[in-house]
Structure 1
């Protein structure tokens, strides 16, 4: 009996290794089930677990060939995860240049994005950050009517606003100092999940404008959506809408997706958008309370007319997300001097399939 239990324990030692291998394989599968897409998120966590699993496999001596196969598989998985997250390390090449020679005459736009957590009641922390950073645009998601009442004071300093408080965790509050020429809601996929679609003047004394999209798609999670289809479809629709325009563009919000996922990269290629975190860091915004379970869910992507003045993850505001702040300089004369995402030949076909799965077509949002 003792030998049996010892043998069983040794087989148990390889369970974490099998989990890592299966999770890595799931990264290559374009299946939309929430539990499959969930493996897109924890890349750093998988790296740590792979190293731990490799140590456990050392003690598995029942079948040496199994041990060596597991080690080889774990090494391949380790290389893959390193390859995925390497662009988000400070030693990688920057996707967006640092803006140089910025003066008072340089056209700029600063944005603060915050998923406030609808049940969070610590408004003062966020109010302090808004006052300190003084952004041109404040975009809050997961806001209900209580949050709208608490932020009523912002209307004095932010004369242009669009508010959609909803008690389903998909409410939006949008405030801007910049004058809009268009400021609307859009419901790309589901009629209870709004998005912001707007066009703003970069400066009151300038005719230059930029498009802004503020989104918070439904995540693939057991209590939200059993698949990633609604989220993927919304990202594809926004990307294709941007593709048809030729205006400077910024897309911000809680994407409920990591920047390195297949869908996020497809979205960037469709919209020809840059990721300012590449070469600078992950700026992981979720989960604010658990460092071991943290990855970047809140994003700001933009077209190549913009360069970075500043980007930073802000302090804890009582939510499960950290806010993120970005300040961009508008430098159109250097357009096409930054590394734009390369369009792949099957992108349009894949986008079409994602919309078909959501029972949408290419023009339903336009």
Structure 2
């Protein structure tokens, strides 16, 4: 069993990569990762250097992982800046590090993809051993696997990774027939609040259009990109993605894209929210607006997504990280995870202790959030 690394996703064929992935999770498709590279959204100048991991037996590919060499912690959303500071205060280098994640995309999904799932433990061990060798030879401080599916955690934990608990907010489809059916699961007070928020959007003479991938023209992308840019510029940041990325990805995976655009009374686009979806899940990703409109963010980013999930019979809606305001709108607090291996044994132990305490705080926080959920006590929703 040999572990090797690719400095570009183009070094492996799309057929080989996607056949091992065996998932319609859109962010792990060869075309998605390739577009990040070809539009220069990842690369030397961005702090994300492709270093995708391949496990082979002879010429047979057994496993794949999306992997990057990181020279900072931007665009990860599992925050470790304090770890880097602690390293520097002690005269150590935290960067470069290895990160298995989808750049700029805090959406839980597969990370270690296997030809044969029965080999998960064996392959996880082989990867850990290869990373240890690489770290000793290259100065890599450690490896971080961000937001994997839960089933991937145990083999990595057994091989020496520390598990970090985080949280997100997800909406679950309780076999709803329509949006009103969803509202019937809520308490009377919150049902009225949501209806008021939706009415406020109409009262401002704003209309909503849902546009799927193949119908998004370059002109519409240009409008959306203005909104996307403004979200970052308001915070004094540069956008992670460029317009070329959005235009290109819509030609490659059009059946995975949903763009929600808002127009004012003069038929001018004023806001937009981009979602990706697969056969089971909707993923809210990017939002922006020309100016603030009362309740428009909730309408475009949450309620339109919920309607789409019900219409397409999708099981789950992940609207993006953070945001306690999502709870009273029907989004459940869900634990998410990451796995971390640190080369330096002193810091490995310190981080392990920190993560244990942090996990307790996260569990308390999730319990508090669940107490604020607006569902009737008689409602039983299966969360996954």
How does the TM-score come out when normalised to structure 1? Answer: 0.29
**Higher strand proportion (structure 1 or 2):** 2
**Higher helix proportion (structure 1 or 2):** 2
